[in-house]
Amino acid sequence: MTWHVPEPLVAAYVDGAVQGARAASIEAHILACADCRARVNSAVSVDRLTSIWSSVLDDAENPRQSWAEWLLTRAGVPEADARLVAAAPSLHLSWLASLAAVLLFAAWASNTSDRGAALFLILAPVIPVLAVAGAYGPRIDPTYEVSVASPYPTLRLVLLRSASVVAASGALALAASALVPDGEIAAAWLLPSLALITLTLLLTRWLALPVAAFGVAAAYAVPLLAITLDHGGVSTALTSAALQWSAAAVVVVALALLTADPHMRAAMRRNP
Amino acid sequence: MSTVPSTEPTDAALLRQVADGDRRALEQLYARHAGWLLLRLGRRCADPGLVDEVVQDTFVAVWRSAGRYTGRGEVAAWIWGIGVRRLVDGLRRTPRAAVVAEPQLSSVEMSAEERVLLGVQYGDLAGALDRLSPELSAVVQSTVLDGLTTAEAGRLLGIPQGTVKSRMKRAREVLREELA
Amino acid sequence: MTPAAEVTDVRRRYGRTQALDGATFEIGTGVTGLLGPNGAGKTTLLRILATVAAPDSGAVSVFGRDPAVSGDRLEIRRRLGYLPQDPGFQRGFSVFEFIDYIAILKEMTSRQERHAEVRRVIDAVDLASVSGKRVRALSGGMKRRTALAAALLGDPKFLVLDEPTAGLDPEQRLRFRELVSDAGEGRAVLLSTHQTEDVAALCQDVVVLDQGRVLFHGSPAELTSVADGRVWFAAERSAAAELVWRGADGRFRHLGSPPAGADVVEPTLEDGYLLLVGRVDEEAAA
């Protein structure tokens, strides 16, 4: 194709002086002709194009929000913090799906026998603690080394991520307990779970988060599972008022210690 | 006058690089296509702020969906297709900004395909188009030349879809009579 | 001039291994190479200087600040760029997203400024052509460059690079040396490596670490001169040498005290290093 739009017509077109079918003809031609496109392009203000380009770059490369990030920003977490929090491995759908599978199994088992009910009461409180284990730490977070060497306060990351994964996995556990017909059993996991979570956070003063979380989870679940397998269910003990009150006491004491800790307070106060 | 030397990558090659996450390739495509797109959209919308926004959205869409380009047809036409649809969406939000050029047709270069769409294959088409009323001409331009659906053309022109269809039917009849 | 970083009699034990056993040295502006065989304590030392690990005993100071004090530690981290030995990347993150993530960790909260800085470091390591690509889909060399770009965020005055050239092919290695050498302008860079060629090519200063102690600290030329008059070629393997290996021409390269009449040759930096460490490290000799 050797025909090109004559120069005066290009000038008239870019000035808006060409109308109707003649303009349509030019427009049809420039879709197919790089030369004429370039001549039309050169009439547009460079400043205008540059300013649009910088918005294009900003928009195109801005990472897209994940569902977790979207929820966190709605909950008032600053955008930058939300990005760091949403990268918690245990907020990934693969993690949540496996936790949900364990919960569903436990909820189903609770309907079968006393041992099954005990199984639910042992597993459900541990699920949010396992999610905390997968929130941050060496070998858990791929950028752990770099994040420790960065000025962002590690403890703030630990607390924000822990709170988020507890919320997500806690919601799953609540949904699973809706499938448990016995109301007493369905509610009895909550206080022990909170006790385990607050204990885990307290231990992060001395231990890495996954170590503290796995340790607490194992210290709770392993002996109880052993007893259940050997001697039958422990559901009566786990739903007993005595246990519920002791769990509540642990939560209160641990929360008091946590909030009294100046490091914890400093980490949460910082609001950039 | 600038031309594209043969050593430069083609638009299609650049688009493949963009699909692979190449920011520089997007910058090159922008340099080649943002200007004319801006002007052409500006002829269909009186609000320059909206036009800037639409050009921006178009290239963000190019970055995100470059992989969906099939390799058939001009990349410029593909980009125009994204741009004009974004304009229609933008006008839905701010409807008063639309302007469509008054047709004062004297000569028009049309492809055989476009003639078939109009149902007129012979005769002085440009002359006939010239004599259409502005209302009918605007419908012909947005559906046939800009490649919009009747629903999109209706949104661009601020008229119901049914009106687009009836005006298109009427335009075909007029053209057929004129060129018979 | 005050040194950029200083360690004094630093010790660190991991279980039964004494990783650092009284290391003492200081570094200034420019590129310093940390050479040593596997298990010499290089990574431990770099992690301590990057404020990731703490020493059991001894003093550490970076820009005159003590990483054991929390306020000082924060100030050090604000001036630090760290490339760990085995940098990890989040699943699904693009090059841009990964570096943007690290930029948030480096306290860049304003989105526009952060993105401009992310683009700057991506351009600096020449990765704009893959900025939207998933990091995990990149080649090893490009992954390293991505991690280096993240370390360059915010123009840190102290760069700690743990084996930045490990696992790169010769071309990538050359490219990487260029980048590190540029980064060394006006900054203190400390990099660990097995490769004596890396040190010869880009370091102004060398520290040789072995079994947790500093064996040598000086210029590359000084390290080379350790082997002055102690390298010779012979057709037959000689028992007088400390180290012997067969060269490409079929002759044996000997390190140690030459016998009378031996064909003494000009030493390389590697010769000096090997004589110092007293053994051929598999990777260094490769």
Q: What residues make up the domain containing B153?
A: 112-179
Phi, psi of A191 (to 5 degrees): -65, -45
pLDDT tens per residue across span A3-25:
888 888 888 888 888 776 777 78
Same domain, B38 and B66: yes
Report the C-alpha gap between C260 and A191 in whole angstroms.
Answer: 85
pLDDT at B106: 36
pLDDT tens per residue across span C61-89:
999 999 999 899 999 999 999 999 989 99
Average pLDDT, chain A: 89
Is B3 within the bounds of a domain? no
Residue C233 β-bridge partners = C253, C263
Is B71 within the bounds of a domain? yes
Reported for C218-222, long-range contacts at CB under 8 A and 24+ positions apart, including other chains, are C220/C33, C220/C269
Asked if C101 and A92 come within 8 Å (Cβ–Cβ), the reply is no
A35 touches chain C (CB under 8 A): no
Same domain, B119 and B93: no
How sure is the predictor about C2, in pLDDT bands with cuts at 50, 70 and 90?
confident
Same domain, B36 and B76: yes
**Do residues C184 and C202 make contact, with C-beta atoms less than 8 angstroms apart?**
yes
pLDDT tens per residue across span A190-207:
999 999 999 999 998 889
CATH number of the structural domain spanning residue B152: 1.10.10.10
Q: Please state the domain extents for chain A.
A: 7-61, 67-269
**Do residues A213 and A201 make contact, with C-beta atoms less than 8 angstroms apart?**
no
Same domain, B82 and B117: no
Is B6 within the bounds of a domain? no
Same domain, B80 and B15: yes
Determine the residue among C49, C105, C118 to mutate to test chain A binding: the one whose Cβ has the most chain A Cβ atoms within 10 Å: C105
pLDDT at B120: 53
pLDDT tens per residue across span C125-160:
989 999 999 999 998 889 999 999 999 999 999 999
Same domain, B53 and B88: yes
pLDDT at C168: 80
The CA-atom distances, in angstroms, between A202 and each of A140, A159, A197, B134 are 20, 11, 9, 76
Q: Where is the domain boundary, B62, B97, B132? A: B97
How sure is the predictor about B105, in pLDDT bands with cuts at 50, 70 and 90?
very low
Is B118 within the bounds of a domain? yes
Around Cβ C150, how many Cβ atoms within 10 Å? 29
Facing B39 at nearest CB: one of A14, A25, A28: A14
pLDDT at A272: 40
Can you list the domains of chain C with their CATH numbers?
A: 1-79+157-217 (3.40.50.300), 88-155 (no CATH), 224-285 (no CATH)
Is B146 within the bounds of a domain? yes
Query: Quick check: B59 pLDDT over 90?
Result: yes
What is the pTM (predicted TM-score) of this model? 0.84
pLDDT at C207: 96
A40 three-state secondary structure: helix
Same domain, B89 and B134: no
Q: How many domains does chain B have?
A: 2
The helix (run of H) or strand (run of E) holding residue A255 is helix A241-260
Same domain, B91 and B130: no
pLDDT tens per residue across span C255-275:
888 887 788 889 999 999 998
Q: What strand order describes the sheet that includes C80-83? A: C80-83, C158-162, C188-193, C30-35, C205-210, C213-218
How sure is the predictor about B98, in pLDDT bands with cuts at 50, 70 and 90?
low
Same domain, B119 and B175: yes
CATH number of this structure's domain A7-61, picked from the four choices 3.30.70, 2.40.50, 1.10.3470, 1.10.10:
1.10.10
Report the C-alpha gap between B156 and B100 in whole angstroms.
Answer: 9
pLDDT tens per residue across span A26-55:
888 888 899 999 999 999 999 999 999 999
Chains that touch B (3 or more CB pairs under 8 A): A, C
Report the C-alpha gap between A148 and A143 in whole angstroms.
Answer: 9
- Closest by Cα among C190, C116, C177 to C141: C177
Q: Where is the domain boundary, B74, B97, B120? A: B97
Query: Quick check: B10 pLDDT over 60?
Result: yes
| ipTM score | 0.88
Tens place of pLDDT per residue across chain A (272 aa): 578 888 888 888 888 887 767 777 888 888 889 999 999 999 999 999 999 999 998 888 888 888 999 999 999 999 999 999 999 999 999 999 999 999 999 999 888 888 888 889 999 999 999 999 999 999 899 999 999 999 999 989 999 999 999 999 999 999 999 988 888 888 899 999 999 999 999 998 889 999 999 999 999 999 998 888 888 778 888 888 888 999 999 999 999 999 888 888 877 765 54
Asked if A149 and C111 come within 8 Å (Cβ–Cβ), the reply is no
- At C271, the amino acid letter reads D
**Which chain B positions have a beta carbon within 8 Å of C131's beta carbon?**
21-23
Is B105 within the bounds of a domain? no
Comparison of pLDDT for C248 and B84, the residue scoring more: B84
- Percent above pLDDT 90 for chain B: 33
Same domain, B116 and B161: yes
Q: Where is the domain boundary, B97, B131, B163? A: B97
Report the C-alpha gap between A121 and A133 in whole angstroms.
Answer: 20
A80 touches chain C (CB under 8 A): yes
Asked if B43 and A29 come within 8 Å (Cβ–Cβ), the reply is no
Query: Quick check: B7 pLDDT over 80?
Result: no
pLDDT tens per residue across span C163-201:
998 878 888 888 888 888 988 888 999 999 988 989 998
C150 touches chain A (CB under 8 A): yes
